[in-house]
Chains A and B, each alone.
Chain A
Amino acid sequence: MSAMVEAPVAPGARSTRAARLAVRLLVPLAAVGLGLLVGAVAILLTGGSPIDAYAALIRGAVGTPSNLNATLARAVPIVVVGVGLALAFRAGALNLGGEGQMIVAAVVTAVVAAWVGDLPAPIGILVAAGAGCLAGAAWALGPALLQTRFEVPLLITTLLLNYVGALLAAWLVSYPLREVGGGVAQTPTIPDPTQLPYLAPGGRLHAGVLLLALLPLGAWWLLGRTVAGYEMRMSGLNAAFSEYGGVDGRRTLLRAMLLSGAVCGLAGALVVLGVHHRYIDGSITAPGYAWTGFTAALLAGGEPLGTLVAGLFLAGLQTGAAGMERNTDIPFQIVDVVQACIILMIAIRLTLGRWLGRRLGLT
């Protein structure tokens, strides 16, 4: 997000740290609450009962160990891509190309995994995932260079490259990389040693779930505890200021976009290595991983640890919606509407925050 520079508040507006923290938590909570409210209205309009529906949704998300595992597994690509996008946002780069970066990385991961199937398990996985990261970074590099060299707005080029990436991948798996004899557009299954091992019976919770803990922590450390992270944050908050302080804006942007693309690419690689064990056309786009990750990053204001929390919540919403559909006949796409409303509320976060703060007497 671009830094919103406002005049400093007068000291008369008594804002304590606790109050500010409360507003920072309240705004995302209010956004989620209002989103769910819109969802409830939509359920009512289609003749359902919001209470039954949301109860079914909660059961579907966390009601059984198996459902919980499904939620955690779903959260992996969402949180990873969310953290990837958050890293770019914090540096002031509006990377909207998470989907394209995931897709390209997923295809490359599937191809490389097939080559390195003979390597011992962890090495093969690391090489394939690393290739995915490189592919994601490469897909993000173009828009970053166009921004730094020609000032072409990154947000448009990354958006457009989502479509190019989706079409390119569709062509690749329909023709040159297509599984021989397969009915659908997909690559062959990757070799066993390159498949992420499962951590729980039931075949859902793969080892990639460890990244749920590691990656947000790593991003948090990078942003808060390294010089490069400091420069990224300052560029994101006020580019003119950081340039004045000797921070090379172009290099910081390039660095942030490469990092962001690599992490988004990792998310795509995880879908291949941990979920489908191949690249299937549409397997990244259809579940909306990237845009859910985008929502998580926005909800958290670009904070990696917050992105984890928001990503887990949104993943629960999605797996829960599938359960809700089974039990109540309400189409699971209702959560897409809820999610869009959440983003709409985040768009007015400043107004919302001021209003909430006033209502609750915090600021």
Chain B
Amino acid sequence: MDAGTILDAAILASVVRLVSPILLAALGGLLTERAGIFNVALEGLMLTGSFAAVVATSRTGDPAIGVLVAVLAAMAVALVFAIVVVDLGGDAIVAGLAINLLALGATTFLMRAILGVQGGYYDPTMPGLAAIELPFLAQVPVLGPMFDGQTILVWVALALVGVLQVLLFHHPFGIRLRAVGEDPVAAGSVGVRVRRVQYLAVLGSGALCGLAGAQLSLGIVTQFVEGMTFGRGFIALVAVMFGRAHPLGVLGASVLFGGAYAVAVRLQGQGIPSQFVNMLPYLATIVVLVVVYGRAASRRRARGALAEGPAEVEVAT
């Protein structure tokens, strides 16, 4: 009984911890999705954040600076993505994949050029993000073990769910953002500065992915490994679709996928090979995709609409 509660508490804390990077990246993806930009680059932006966070922290010894640099670095890469997609009429999917490969190549290149190592960087003296102890919360059952001792970025992620909810539905910018995503031509015709809105959305998603990357490399672990995001950005992208680009929906989807990671970690602890259980989040994501699109497809069939070519990514509101 006692052992059971401890384990459950541990897994709850682990869910919260593992959900946070997915959630942060997915909230970033939500911004671009709402601006009508399909953002495959989440993966690369996140990886940039992870790397920049570790480099800056190892140089300054201050994880706060690490987080700041992660945000700025990811925003800089996002700026490239924005220029290509918004101004140069680039294909968002191809550009996003290029950003991912750029982030992968540049981080391994710079790891050797700056840190002089290959494969991964680990420095036992490098501090990670501090665990925030909340004595008053620790006493509360369930919530206590879940949230006591999490990093600041977990709290930031949760706060951002609310912030984005307000931004999207109760702020002029949110109205313009949604309008741009729905019909950029019409938005331009009523005086919305479409380019600016799209730039802000892409830069915002860069900032959030920077936070996601920092939480991964300074919060969950304290090291950088080549390609350490390992598809989390794509999973976040699916979380945006599954959550229908609503902050609360995205939170729910992220909890689901983060939960899959936590279950994988738990099973690993019970002796099941890590490679095997680590497939879980990806398989869960594919199952969710089938549910989301299968329902949409059968609705379309019921309406008798045409199925034309590769389905576009739709977000119902």
Give A contacts to B, CB under 8 Å. Answer: 1-2, 42, 46, 92-94, 96, 146-147, 149-157, 159-164, 167-168, 170-171, 174-175, 235, 239-240, 243, 249, 291, 294, 298, 331, 333-337, 339-341, 343-344, 346-348, 350-351
* B289 near A163: Cβ-Cβ < 8 Å: no
Interface residue ranges of B273-300 to A (CB < 8 Å): 273, 275-276, 278-279, 282-283, 285-286, 289-290, 292-294, 296-297, 300
Q: Contacts A160-B234, A168-B279, A333-B108: A347 and B289 contacting too (C-beta < 8 A)?
A: no
B45-53, B84-92, B168-176, B204-212 - the one binding chain A: B84-92
A159 touches B231 (CB 8 A): yes
A163 contacts across to B, CB distance below 8 A = 230-231, 279, 282
B311 and A174 within 8 A (CB): no
B85 to A: closest C-beta gap in Å: 8
Please, which residues of chain B bring their CB within 8 A of the CB of A161? 282, 286
- 10 cross-chain pairs, A with B, having the tightest CB-CB distances, nearest first: A336-B105, A239-B309, A340-B102, A151-B311, A343-B98, A171-B275, A347-B95, A347-B90, A333-B109, A347-B94
From A151, A153, A171, A343, residue with most partner B Cβ within 10 Å: A151
Would you call A156 and B237 a contact (CB within 8 A)? yes
Q: Which of A150, A175, A243, A294 has the most CB of B within 10 A?
A: A150
Asked if B93 is at the interface (CB within 8 A of a chain A CB), the reply is yes
CB closest chain-A residue, reference B92: A347
- Contact status B94-A160, CB under 8 Å: no
Other than the given A153-B293, A339-B101, 17 more pairs (CB < 8 A) read A2-B309, A2-B310, A150-B293, A151-B293, A151-B296, A152-B289, A153-B310, A156-B238, A160-B234, A161-B282, A331-B109, A340-B102, A340-B104, A340-B105, A344-B84, A346-B98, A347-B94
Would you call B102 and A152 a contact (CB within 8 A)?
no
> Nearest Cβ distance between residue A42 and chain B, in whole angstroms?
7
Across the interface, do A344 and B109 meet the contact criterion of CB distance under 8 Å? no
Residues of B within 8 A of A46 (CB): 113
Q: How far is the CA of A162 from the CA of B231 in the complex (A)?
A: 9
Q: What's the Cα separation between A157 and B311 when bound, in Å?
A: 13
Q: Is the CB of A1 within 8 A of B273?
A: no
| B99 interface contact, C-beta 8 A | yes
- Which of B92, B293, B296 has most A Cβ within 10 Å? B293
| A249 and B309 contacting across the interface, CB-CB below 8 Å | yes
Which applies to chain A's interface (DSSP): helix, strand, loop or mixed? helix
Jot down 6 A-B pairs with beta carbons below 8 A, ordered by A: A150-B293, A150-B294, A333-B108, A339-B101, A340-B98, A340-B101
Closest beta carbon of chain A to B301's beta carbon, Å: 10
Binary CB contact string for chain B from 151 to 192 against chain A (1 if under 8 A, 0 otherwise): 000000000000000000000000000000000000000000
**Are the C-beta atoms of B231 and A336 separated by less than 8 Å?**
no
**How far, in angstroms, from A46 to B289 measured CA to CA in the complex?**
43
Say whether, besides A150-B290, A153-B313, A160-B285, A344 and B99 are in contact (CB < 8 Å): yes
Which chain B positions have C-beta within 8 A of A350?
89
B275 touches A167 (CB 8 A): yes
Q: Which of A94, A149, A335 contacts B310 (CB 8 A)?
A: A94
- A42, A147, A154, A344: the one contacting B98 at CB < 8 Å is A344
Question: In the assembly, what is the distance between CA of A337 and CA of B275, in Å?
Answer: 29
State whether B94 touches A346 (Cβ < 8 A): yes
Say whether A159 contacts B234, CB under 8 Å. Answer: yes
Minimal Cβ-Cβ distance residue in B for A250: B307
A150, A168, A333: the one within 8 Å of B275 (CB): A168
Please state if B112 and A331 are interface contacts (CB–CB under 8 Å). yes
List the B side residues contacting A235 at CB < 8 Å: 309
With A160-B286, A164-B282, A170-B275 known as contacts, the answer to whether A351 contacts B310 (CB < 8 A) is no
**A146 and B309 contacting across the interface, CB-CB below 8 Å:** no
Residues of B within 8 A of A344 (CB): 80, 84, 90, 95, 98-99, 102
Chain B residues within 8 Å of A339, by CB: 101, 105
A336–B234 CB distance below 8 A? no
What residues of B have a CB within 8 angstroms of the CB of A337 in the complex? Answer: 102, 105-106, 109
Q: Does B123 interact with chain A (Cβ within 8 Å)?
A: no
Nearest-neighbor residue (CB-CB) of B273 within chain A: A171
**Given contacts A249-B309, A340-B98, A343-B101, is CB(A1)–CB(B91) below 8 Å?**
yes
What is the chain B residue whose CB lies nearest that of A236?
B309
Assess whether B289 is in contact with A155, with CB atoms less than 8 Å apart: no
Please name all residues of chain A whose beta carbon is closer than 8 Å to the beta carbon of B108 when the two chains form the complex: 331, 333, 336
B2 at the interface (CB under 8 A from A): no
Q: Are B93 and A155 in contact (CB under 8 A)?
A: yes
Min Cβ gap B10→A in Å is 24
